[in-house]
């Protein structure tokens, strides 16, 4: 897992509109939250919490980006269904999750599988990682970040 002060890996992902987004060229500050799967209970709670607090993020000058291994098409449907005002990025080959140390074994209901670890990275104005949240609670996390930013 990268440390505070590190640069994000030089990776380009497609957003839910099919546009290519090069992470290292995004203007900071921004929040990059990784989640396992579109339209599942925990991931929907997390996305909707960011949606419901999006005005506070924008007022703070902070953009939000959601990232999962789902396809562009899945992201488009998820974003439209829940009226998400921020882009969703498709990490279909989990290059970003791997590079951030957030792809690995998980357990759910007694079963083991490989997938994205729910996590968030706050990227500063200089493009470096400012804060890492390696394990988050979906319904509380947006407010946790706003508190960190001094906006809650």
Closest by CA position to 23, among listed 15, 49, 75:
15
Percent helix / strand / coil, the chain, rounded to 5? 30, 30, 40
Q: Which residues contact 30 (CB under 8 A, 6 or more apart)?
A: 62, 63, 64, 65, 122, 123
Q: How far is 7 from 127, CA to CA, in rounded Å? A: 6
Is the previous residue joined to 4 through a cis bond, with omega within 30 degrees of 0? no
| 48 tagged catalytic | no
Distance separating the N- and C-terminal Cα atoms of the chain: 28
Tokens of 20: 């290519």
8, 31, 32, 43: which one is catalytic?
Answer: 43
Catalytic residues: 43
């Amino acid at each position: 897992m990268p440390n505070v002060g590190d640069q994000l890996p030089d990776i380009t992902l497609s957003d839910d509109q099919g546009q290519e987004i090069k992470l290292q060229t995004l203007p900071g500050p921004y929040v990059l939250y990784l989640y396992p799967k579109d339209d599942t209970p925990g991931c929907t709670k997390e996305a909707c919490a960011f949606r419901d607090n999006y005005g506070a993020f924008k007022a703070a000058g902070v953009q939000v980006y959601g990232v999962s291994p789902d396809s562009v098409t899945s992201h488009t449907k998820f974003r439209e269904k829940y009226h998400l005002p921020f882009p969703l990025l498709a990490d279909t080959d989990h290059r970003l999750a791997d590079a951030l140390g957030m792809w690995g074994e998980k357990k759910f209901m007694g079963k083991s599988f490989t997938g994205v670890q729910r996590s968030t990275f706050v990227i500063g104005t200089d493009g470096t990682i400012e804060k890492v949240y390696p394990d988050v609670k979906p319904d509380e996390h947006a407010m946790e970040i706003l508190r960190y930013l001094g906006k809650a």
